[in-house]
Amino acid sequence: MIAKVIVDISSSEIDKIFDYLVPDGMDLHEGDRVLVPFGRKETEGFCIGLSDVTDVDRSKLKSVSSRLDPFTCIGKNMLALMDFMRRKFYLRYVDCLRLFIPGRMRGGRVKELKRLYLSLIDGAEQAIAAIPARAKRQRELAEKLRDGGEYLSVVAGEFGASTINALIDAGIAQKTDKPVYRKPYSDIAADDKKVKLTAEQSAAVDKIFGTDKTVTLLYGVTGSGKTEVYMQAIERTIAAGKTAIMLVPEISLTPQTLRNFRARFSDRVALLHSGLGQGERYDEWRRILTGEADIVIGARSAIFAPLSNVGLIVMDEEHDGSYVSESNPRYNTVDVAEFRARYDGGKLVLGSATPSIDSFEAAQEGRYELATMSHRISEHGMPPIEIVDMSREVLGGNAGIFSGRLAEELRRTIERGDQAMLFINRRGHSSFAMCRKCGYVPKCEDCDVSLTYHSVENALVCHYCGKKYRMITRCPVCGCDSIKYGKTGTQRVVQELQKTYPGVGILRMDNESTTTKDAYLDILGAFKAHEAQILVGTQMIAKGHDFPDVTLVGILDADMSLYFSDYRSCERTFQLVTQVAGRAGRASKTGKVLLQTYSPGHYVYKFASRYDYPGFFAKENNTRKVTGFPPYSTIVRVLMSGRDEEDVIECARGIYRELRAYQLAHESSFLFMRAMRAPIARIEQHYRYQILMRVTRESEDAVLGAVYPLLDAYKTRGVSVFAQINPQSLS
Ligand code: ADP
Ligand code: ZN
């Protein structure tokens, strides 16, 4: 038997299959991790296939040395997925395997964790009866051990070493090694409140399983109870003996989801995400492979969970950009999810209150099933959104962060003893510095983007490369010393609030205040426990939190995302406003939302303030159709970068020439193609050029088939080249 092996997946970039002989008696399967001789040493490899044939002279073949830890093997379905990902995303075997088997689990550096365990010896009854009456503690310990035993470290604290040793010496108890599972977020627990589904909810569950389509788009307004639909659908799935994957955009931002799932499914839930320690991850992995856990919850990468027989995959907040991996290895989670669901004959549910235009269009076309939930569970319905015209505020002499209306509502909320959330679109103190006289804006020397002012360090920081610069006090161009700090940031909002509402508790949540995995939970926990009345935050506070006492939501600068030069700007802004607004009045209290903008008449705000997603979709979809943007085309961007600008240009020219020839031969596939400097011309001293194409959706696969080989052909030591499909940002 011949094993087809991918070698050294930890470090090698070689995308080649090597043949090895399988020694007699070795029980080797496809998907096993193996040790093989390679060059002069032994290296780790992956058996991706078994065969009777080889193109190599058999006498020259070496043999597989050994099979490695069975808990790091992968199943047949994952091998099929690897095939799919190679074709669809042009990934190498090693890229796929690295996604499937995370980090240090390869190379066997993570081990089972074992701890000493104290249990009764079988047939110790007589000895227990013979414990002298004065040895009360020994008797108590023996009683405690009756139902199965306990970890030594636990009883040691309670009973002390001498009591324990006495029982061991008397032949009553024994010490053994027992594996422990490292359980992530083990302090998160809650009571399960299983509810009776509303008519809309049960119709949604029925639709998911009743339709002959694989994918169902669950469009449910915020607070319509999507999580309960997911959970009951998962319950049905595992009751049928199948497994389930629940994806959320960023697990550490949604402790609530984890809490609900733990409460309902207890230890059948495994958690996989990049914030876990290696040991924790290994243990969760093992619980999945042994079948102890049949529900996996996690962020994007959990889609690669080593489950078999997947009956249901849920992607919550399906519109979220984090589901697309935009760095190597590049892939789109929804494609992977659909493949896995189809492979196992399962279902894929995409849930959102603001579906992406692409997904909703797919539902309109009939490629997806559509389930709609248009009512909130809470009797109050959606909180009213009031649009506040900020240019009128400026004309009226108020140049501050808060409009008169917002200041008034904040005061009322505080007086009532309720809570408020204030949302702001970026981090830092003020986004940029600008000379009031000549308009000079300091930029990063390496990246050609405006620098951001951080008040804590009183420094200017490049958000692309992290480089820090001294804050300027005088304009280097005109010498004027009047420097204006640009827009508002979370820190400044907090400072203003402290001045206006002294003594009121304020919490801040942004990238800087939440650098550790637990920081999110701490801040959210403190807010939930009413340690503060106001929570100020960035995008992060928009996601999936449930605070019953929040009755006011303020969106301080909605416009920020409206004017990015990106075809998805309006879609993003609509999503953001809807998600943030959805935080208000979720429980028994009514809520209110104030949206501050300089463009009060913009159609995005009109639709968003009426919670009219279908109306927004119709308008936006029509624009896309007329202008030929996705979903009516596929954007392909080839991005080239390198330190030597001439080399990068050379590379861009070469690829462009070949693509141009292809375009001439396939005129009807192309809507647009141009080679140019990237909008951000330089990042970390690397010059960036791009070839931007818009091609018809039908020809996407064919065009990519022509593009991908060019990337390999033209990349050189100094120039890196890659392709993006419908990129999240075109900077
Ligand atoms: P969504 O994810 O759609 O925004 P959630 O799943 O967070 O909404 O649900 C909103 C609230 O309604 C939660 O507090 C949830 O526990 C509650 N809920 C969900 N379904 C029901 C139901 N059938 N009966 C009563 N309460 C429910
Ligand atoms: Zn920079």
Mean pLDDT is lowest, of 106-115, 162-171, 273-282, 680-689, for 106-115
Of all atoms in ligand 1, which is nearest to the CA of residue 220?
3
Query: Which of 556, 561, 558, 463 lies closest to 512, judged by CA?
Result: 463
The Cα 323–Cα 249 span in angstroms is 7
687 CA distance to ligand 2 centroid (A)? 12
| Contact in structure between 297 and 269 (CB atoms under 8 Å) | yes
* Sign of the four-CA dihedral 177, 183, 187, 193: negative
Read off the pLDDT of residues 627-663 as tens digits, 9 standing for 90 and up.
Answer: 888 999 999 999 999 999 999 999 999 999 999 999 9
Pocket of ligand 1 (CB under 6 A): 195-198, 201, 220, 222-228, 377, 546
pLDDT of 1 above 60: yes
Per-residue model confidence (pLDDT) at position 427: 41
Query: Which of 698, 702, 694 lies closest to 662, judged by CA?
Result: 702
**Residue 370: how many other CB atoms lie within 10 Å:** 18
**Within the chain, how many helices (H) and strands (E) appear?**
21, 32
Question: In the structure, what pLDDT confidence band is assigned to residue 241 with cuts at 50, 70 and 90?
Answer: very high
Confirm whether pTM is higher than 0.85. Answer: no
**Residue 579: how many other CB atoms lie within 10 Å:** 22
Query: Which of 617, 130, 171 lies closest to 355, judged by CA?
Result: 617
* Sign of the four-CA dihedral 570, 571, 574, 580: negative
* CATH number listed for the domain at residues 385-430+486-623: 3.40.50.300
- Per-residue pLDDT averaged across 240-262, rounded? 84
Per-residue model confidence (pLDDT) at position 633: 92
679 CA distance to ligand 2 centroid (A)? 14
Per-residue model confidence (pLDDT) at position 501: 92
Of all atoms in ligand 1, which is nearest to the CA of residue 316?
2
Is 290 buried (19+), middle (13-18) or exposed (0-12) by CB count in 10 A? exposed
Average pLDDT of the chain, as a whole number: 86
pLDDT of 436 above 80: no
Highest mean pLDDT among 9-23, 461-475, 640-654, 707-721: 640-654
Query: Which of 699, 644, 645 lies closest to 669, judged by CA?
Result: 699
92 CA distance to ligand 2 centroid (A)? 31
Determine the angle formed by the axes of helices 333-343 and 76-89, rounding to 10 degrees: 140
Residue nearest to atom 19 of ligand 1 (CA): 225
Residue nearest to atom 15 of ligand 1 (CA): 225
Produce one character per residue of 387-400: b if its CB has 16 or more CB atoms within 10 Å, e if not.
bbbbeebeeeeeee
Per-residue model confidence (pLDDT) at position 462: 73
State which CATH number among 2.60.120.10, 3.30.70.360, 3.40.50.620, 3.10.180.10 fits the domain covering 634-725: 3.30.70.360
Query: In sequence order, what are the residues at sequence separation of 6 or more whose Cβ sits closer than 8 angstroms to the Cβ of residue 489?
Result: 424, 426, 427, 428, 429, 430, 431, 455
Produce one character per residue of 501-519: b if its CB has 16 or more CB atoms within 10 Å, e if not.
beeeebbbbbebbbeebee
User: Which residue among 227, 373, 376 is best mutated to probe the pocket of ligand 1, counting the most ligand atoms within 8 A of its Cβ?
Assistant: 227
Query: Which of 221, 256, 576, 219 lies closest to 376, judged by CA?
Result: 221
684 CA distance to ligand 2 centroid (A)? 6
End-to-end CA distance of the chain: 51
* Closest ligand (CA of 544): 1
* Range list of H helices, 366-489: 390-395, 404-416
Read off the pLDDT of residues 507-529 as tens digits, 9 standing for 90 and up.
Answer: 988 766 666 657 777 888 899 89
Read off the pLDDT of residues 295-351 as tens digits, 9 standing for 90 and up.
Answer: 999 999 999 999 999 999 999 999 998 899 988 899 999 999 999 999 999 999 999
What would you report as the CA-atom Rg of the chain, rounded to the nearest whole angstrom?
A: 30
* Closest ligand (CA of 445): 2
- Per-residue pLDDT averaged across 100-115, rounded? 63
Of all atoms in ligand 1, which is nearest to the CA of residue 256?
7
pLDDT of 180 above 80: no
pLDDT of 429 above 50: no
134 CA distance to ligand 1 centroid (A)? 57
* CATH number listed for the domain at residues 2-101: 3.40.1440.60
Q: What percent of the chain has pLDDT over 90?
A: 45
Question: In the structure, what pLDDT confidence band is assigned to residue 698 with cuts at 50, 70 and 90?
Answer: very high
Give the CATH H-level superfamily of domain 199-373.
Answer: P-loop containing nucleotide triphosphate hydrolases (3.40.50.300)
The Cα 332–Cα 459 span in angstroms is 37
Read off the pLDDT of residues 63-78 as tens digits, 9 standing for 90 and up.
Answer: 999 888 777 788 899 9
Question: In the structure, what pLDDT confidence band is assigned to residue 107 with cuts at 50, 70 and 90?
Answer: low
| Contact in structure between 640 and 690 (CB atoms under 8 Å) | yes
pLDDT of 113 above 70: no
Helix (H) / strand (E) containing 604: helix 603-609
